[in-house]
Structure 1
């Protein structure tokens, strides 16, 4: 990798770190692009190439992760959670939450989350990261036996 490419990747990482840290702030592509010293269009293209999703998609994934944690606590309404994570539209928040998690925010909040309580936060964050490809799908745990090929 060239020194220029490494420097660009470091600037993109700086913008990604800003999204991870300041997800509740009103961040937009021009603000993020400025933090990476790039034009908005170039930043969007390079961010997608580096991380596999648009800057907005990445930011919303971080917001949904935090929303899941707040909803599991159960002491805030869905509207309060929406505002707390930096979303301005309850409808857009709910639609994106449902798209990534596979459940509406209200259904997720009403679910039983007692099994997740003993899991360290870092593990829960990594395993609970919303993803379009796995919305609503749960991977079998290591304690479960995998089905054997060839029947019973």
Structure 2
């Protein structure tokens, strides 16, 4: 039986969101939110509190499934390559195999078109190359 769970005060949302961000992205998400602090600190807080604290920390599906769904959407969405790279990295961090990521991106050729799938593959190639050259 579905039983909704309410989150408490905003400071708890931020703390909860930071914990989820670190668990999922292993630092790549924190780099994004940190880069916003000088020019758009509220946007950084919105990402941590809402995206990670309220949504991505939910327990309805596992982090692997969440990241694969996000990769599919960001592949289909034009102009989201930076965010796609962050979530490809996060997917690898939560145990998604590179072959699964490639397969999900290829599936998007049907609904989003070949240009979107190609751009997604190029993003995946870049992330995978970074990960193999990282110390």
- Fold similarity call, TM over 0.5: no
Question: RCO (CA 8 Å, sep 6+): is it higher in 1 or 2?
Answer: 2
Tell me which structure has the larger Cα radius of gyration.
Answer: 1
Q: Which has the higher helix share?
A: 2
TM-score, normalised via structure 1 length: 0.27
TM-score, normalised via structure 2 length: 0.30
